[in-house]
Amino acid sequence: MFVYADNAATTKMSKTAISAMTDYYENIYANPSSLHTAGQQAKEALEDARARVAACLGCEAREIYFTSGGSEADNQAILSAAKLGAMKGKKHIISTAFEHHAVLHTLNKLEKEGYEITLLDVSQGHNVTAGQVAEAIRPDTCLVTCMYANNEIGSVLPVAEIGKVCKEKGVLFHTDAVQAVGHLEIDVKKQNIDMLSLSGHKFHGPKGVGALYVRRGVMLSNLIEGGAQERGKRAGTENIPGIRGLAAALEEACANMEENNKKVVALRDKLIAGLSQIPHSALNGDPVNRLPGNVSFCFEGIEGESLLLMLDALGICASSGSACTSGSLDPSHVLLAIGRVHDVAHGSLRLSVCHYNTEEEIEHILACVPKVVQNLRNMSPVWRDLQTGKREYIL
Amino acid sequence: MALYSEVVMDHFMNPRNVGIIENADGVGEVGNAKCGDIMKIYLKIENDIIEDVKFETFGCGSAIASSSMATEMIKGKSIENALSLTNKAVAEALEGLPAHKMHCSVLAEEAIKSALKNYYEKNNIPYDKSQFPDCENCAHCHE
Ligand SMILES: Cc1ncc(COP(=O)(O)O)c(C=O)c1O
Ligand SMILES: [Zn+2]
């Protein structure tokens, strides 16, 4: 049995998204900047996609800028806000310790350039509170950037509350919503979000295309200079097939959100209940405010890469925050940030499911994971030391 | 292309010599859980010959495969032979390891040496210290 349970990494494209794209490869391939009818047809298709994406987020079409993906959108949002801040002498930015590297590495760069970065602690409840944000805001804070939902452990942040705090204090608020868009109800106006990043391939759309919502009145700076595409804020001939695919996938995801989530949450909860039976294991992430498809565990006494390899041999695609899967010595910064010590963080497993997954697949996973964990524990000197009392259990 | 060679996958999925030896003549453990790999080697030695060897490993696929291969390579061999086993030889026998996984084969070499050192020390046999890595102070896991 083949089970794809790595939807947080990327998703399979929906048929709707694929068919929305093929026409734009085959027939409507002109450059939307061209004057001729074919070009204008492409331009219409582009603007239609923009309006549809905007409708899914509750904003205006002109507040949407298409990018090459989530990473670019994050970079552009943060660097733009930082530049705006510097013009007013404000060089303090607030974020969280468990952001995606697209955010964290951008903040590192700014720190080297003289900005001051506060990363909010996420070890309490594997989440942040709006209160933490309020407390961290200073007169010189120019940006709060908090992800909407965490890609590794699934915690969903109190975005509306954070938005309210930021609005009251007059600080720009950006959210990396790459894991949330298409999966959770979003209304950028109601939630007081000034900037939001999204990526097509996380909701059954294409890879290499994303979007940045920027509230009207917030000045955006370019990452890419050149032509006047995207109202002069992002040069380069538009990826119309990608943009059409993204819009179609997003519309489909939003239209079916309630129905899909009912199914996905049931699959997730079945997995969580089943895997919780494994002794000396722990669920990572907020148990209540959680992405519908995210299951993340740490299993004591084993290492994540070997767990993934054995699951792969059984047809199960999953991921881990272990150091060995990343090629570095340190396990995932997210697991460390929520307070998992190295020993335990190495033994992590993330399963991320979607509405394409079935009950039978979940049962296959539940039949395999406990066996594989036991198999690896049986050859682990750490497990033996835990069992003989030479080492103390952490979980 | 798969991540690992077929030989690595075979030794990972069907590891040889997993387990422990009660009252082993030499035991060596290297690595630590913090950096993600621990290898423990148990030796049964008679007349300078490694009569039996077992291992336990906490680590990635290549760490488990390296332990399995290394134990196969010293089983039934003389101590002298086992001492000359290099991580390169282990990696070659595995038909190669990805560059960032070479440290797993190093760990296997060091685990065997550490078990042999333990055997020498237990039996008050004089030995050439320069033949053994200084695991306690190695930068790999103690940065
Ligand atoms: C939370 C989060 N932010 C940003 C990204 C980057 O998105 P992309 O791969 O489209 O650049 C991802 C996905 O990898 C993500 O999960
Ligand atoms: Zn190591």
Whether B33 shows a pLDDT value over 60: the answer reads yes
Tokens, residue A299: 């299993």
Q: Considering the domain boundaries, does residue B42 fall inside one? A: yes
Sort strands A172-176 and A210-214 into parallel, antiparallel or unpaired.
unpaired
Residue A30: the pLDDT is 97
Residue B100: the pLDDT is 86
* Spatial distance between the Cα atoms of A246 and A252, rounded to a whole number of angstroms: 10
Predicted confidence band at A325 (pLDDT cuts at 50, 70, 90)? low
Q: Considering the domain boundaries, does residue B134 fall inside one? A: no
Mean per-residue pLDDT, A157-179: 98
Predicted confidence band at B109 (pLDDT cuts at 50, 70, 90)? very high
A354 catalytic residue (yes or no)? no
Whether B140 shows a pLDDT value over 60: the answer reads no
Tell me phi and psi for residue A148, to 5 degrees: -75, -45
Q: What residue numbers bound the domain in which A136 lies?
A: 15-255
Q: Give the 3-state secondary structure of residue A222.
A: coil
* Spatial distance between the Cα atoms of A122 and A10, rounded to a whole number of angstroms: 25
Closest partner CB to B38 (pick from A309, A323, A382): A382
Predicted confidence band at A326 (pLDDT cuts at 50, 70, 90)? low
Measuring from atom 16 of ligand 1, which residue has the nearest CA?
A151
Q: Considering the domain boundaries, does residue A394 fall inside one? A: no
The distance from CA B71 to its chain's CA centroid, rounded to whole angstroms, is: 7
Please give the mean pLDDT across all residues of chain A.
97
For chain A, the maximum distance between any two Cα atoms, rounded to a whole number of angstroms, is 78
Predicted confidence band at A27 (pLDDT cuts at 50, 70, 90)? very high
For the whole model, what pTM was predicted?
0.95
Query: Do both A145 and A28 map to the same domain?
Result: yes
Mean per-residue pLDDT, A59-88: 98
Residue B2: the pLDDT is 79
Q: Considering the domain boundaries, does residue A30 fall inside one? A: yes
Query: Do both A85 and A220 map to the same domain?
Result: yes
Predicted confidence band at B128 (pLDDT cuts at 50, 70, 90)? confident
Measuring from atom 4 of ligand 1, which residue has the nearest CA?
A70
The CATH number given to whatever domain includes residue A309 is 3.90.1150.10
Specify whether the CB–CB gap between B43 and B119 falls below 8 A.
yes
N- to C-terminal Cα separation, chain B:
33
A33 burial level (CB within 10 Å; 0-12, 13-18, 19+): middle
Predicted confidence band at A329 (pLDDT cuts at 50, 70, 90)? low
Encode pLDDT of A214-266 as tens digits.
Answer: 999 999 999 999 999 999 999 999 999 999 999 999 999 999 999 999 999 99
Residue B141: the pLDDT is 52
Q: What percent of chain A has pLDDT over 90?
A: 97
Q: Considering the domain boundaries, does residue A69 fall inside one? A: yes
Q: What is the distance in A from the centroid of ligand 2 to the CA of A327?
A: 11
Q: What residue numbers bound the domain in which B90 lies?
A: 6-124
**Alpha helix locations (H) across B14-101?**
61-74, 79-83, 87-93
Predicted confidence band at B136 (pLDDT cuts at 50, 70, 90)? low
Encode pLDDT of A343-362 as tens digits.
Answer: 999 999 999 999 999 999 99
Contact residues of ligand 1, CB 6 A cut-off: A 69-71, 74, 100, 102, 147, 151, 176, 178-179, 199, 210
Q: Which of A237, A255, A273 is the last residue of a domain?
A: A255
Whether B143 shows a pLDDT value over 50: the answer reads no
Number of domains in chain B: 1
Q: Considering the domain boundaries, does residue B117 fall inside one? A: yes
Residue A128: the pLDDT is 98
Q: Which of A255, A288, A309 is the last residue of a domain?
A: A255
Specify whether the CB–CB gap between A354 and A6 falls below 8 A.
no
